Structure 1
Amino acid sequence: MLAGLGVRHVGARAAQTLATHFGTIEQLSAASLDELQNFKIDGKPSGIGSEIAGSLYSFCNRKSASTSSPT
């Protein structure tokens, strides 16, 4: 599902890696940029670099900002 959201640079392989590590869209959306860039799988770098992480982080924060209600 993540690959189908149209997040720039997030293809099927990156989407699978992210889904496996974070588990839910809520956990993924709550992740910091540092968490997205630096998590490991089986003790090895995930392969999610700064370009993918930055794109996903921007996407998640843009969606959050557009859905939050003004106070």
Structure 2
Amino acid sequence: MPRYEFRCRACGTTFVETRPMIASSDPAACPAGHSDTVRLLSLGGVTGRAQAPAPGGGGCCGGGCCG
């Protein structure tokens, strides 16, 4: 089940809720009881590191197979 991150506008608390995708846009109450919350854009499913571009001499395919 997906996890959604929320932030309370009243106290600034950030919290996570696990809920079905069909309920992703439902309101969430802050653990402190406030109701003015907003769902955050989360990149929780993105892992790993960016890779540097492959070295090459240019051209359409990196200079390795073009003539």
Category of TM-score, reference length = shorter chain: under 0.3
Instruction: Return the structure number with greater strand share.
Output: 2
* Higher-RCO chain (CA-CA 8 Å, sequence separation at least 6): 1
Taking structure 2 as the reference length, the TM-score comes to 0.24
Q: Which has the larger radius of gyration?
A: 2
Taking structure 1 as the reference length, the TM-score comes to 0.24
